Amino acid sequence: MAPSAHRPEHLGRCAATWLSLRCLCATRCGTHLTGACMRHEITNSWIDVPVTCDSEALTMPAYLARPVNPGMYPNVIVGFEMFGVTGYIRAVTDRIAHLGYTAVAPDFYHRLGDHIDLPASAEGRDRGLKLLQGIKRAEVRQDMQSLLDYLRDREGGSDRTAMVGLSFGGHIAYYAATQLSLAALAVFYPGWLTGTDIALSRPEPTLALTAGIAEFGTRVLFLIGDGDHLVTAEQRNQIAERLQRDSVDHELVVYPDTPHGFFCHERDTYRPAAPDDAFARVTALLAAELSPGGG
């Protein structure tokens, strides 16, 4: 049966029904509210994460949000778009923390400048495209491992960590999941996975490393619009085939008539139905994989 013009298409493992998503959300939060999670009061701040590096001592700024009530909360790392840790990315981080997680958005640009925060304009995109070419695999691995160590040792967090990546941050998250143990991975429209156009996708395409995700047993939620200019239908099919071939536990959701960047409410690419559905799926994934005994 062809997908409805108003319903997302599912490739790979079957998705839970919308009702199941709502029930999972309620179960994670310990509330009987219909389809709504208890909203935790949060606190947020910038932190400095020591980065283990062979050549020099570095610190990586990161925006951290967590519930104000004491407790051991599972961790969710948020991968930024090429514009940096912007107000939008901080808002996404807060939104995840409100669900009952320690959420943190690291500044992967820290070697290239201080607190880079670009506008989503033509000029901002041009600079972002230049900056992301300076993000290399070895450095991302160092940054991620250092952040995981920090969350475990200094924030008193759970050993279970998930990552949510948006656009370029989705590529960062996908690569990180091939190298490090993550309980869950949610990526929104990550570009450049199938080629070698950016530094992070070399020497071989990042997609070629997918078997590493399966080895760590990471569950993947891949969210994309069928009108995405950065990920063509052919590339989308390559990604779906690779996830299937490498036996990754995954769900690939394709939203009809939906462009790249649909999750960002600040831009004209925003599409209300797709973000609502996507965040419900992310919420359910985090609930299933990060709750005590999950995964």
pLDDT tens digits for range 108-160: 999 999 999 999 999 999 999 999 999 999 999 999 999 999 999 887 667 89
pLDDT digits (tens, 9 = 90+) for 16-41: 333 333 333 333 333 323 334 589 99
Q: Kind and range of the H or E element at 11?
A: strand 9-12
| Average pLDDT, integer, range 77-104 | 98
Residue 80 has pLDDT above 60, yes or no: yes
Q: What is the mean pLDDT of the chain?
A: 88
CA neighbor of 59 nearest in space, from 68, 49, 69, 67: 49
Distances (CA, A) of 92 to 98, 104, 245, 259: 10, 10, 32, 19
pLDDT of residue 149: 94
Determine contact, residues 166/265, Cβ cutoff 8 Å: no
pLDDT of residue 37: 58
Query: 35-39, 97-101, 167-171, 260-264: which range is least confident on average?
Result: 35-39
Percent of the chain at pLDDT exceeding 70: 86
Nearest-angstrom CA–CA distance, 264 and 175: 23
pLDDT of residue 53: 82
9-39+110-143+152-290 CATH choice from 3.10.50.40, 3.40.50.1820, 2.60.120.10, 3.30.70.580: 3.40.50.1820
Domain ranges of the chain: 9-39+110-143+152-290
Task: Enter the pTM of the model.
Answer: 0.88
Q: Which residue has the tokens 């495209």?
A: 129
pLDDT of residue 55: 74
Q: Which residue has the tokens 């160092």?
A: 142
Sheet hosting strand 161-166, strand order edge to edge: 9-12, 250-255, 219-225, 184-188, 161-166, 75-79, 102-106, 58-67, 42-51
181 — pLDDT class (breaks 50, 70, 90): very high
Residue 278 has pLDDT above 60, yes or no: yes
Q: In this structure, how many other beta carbons lie within 10 angstroms of the beta carbon of residue 172?
A: 28
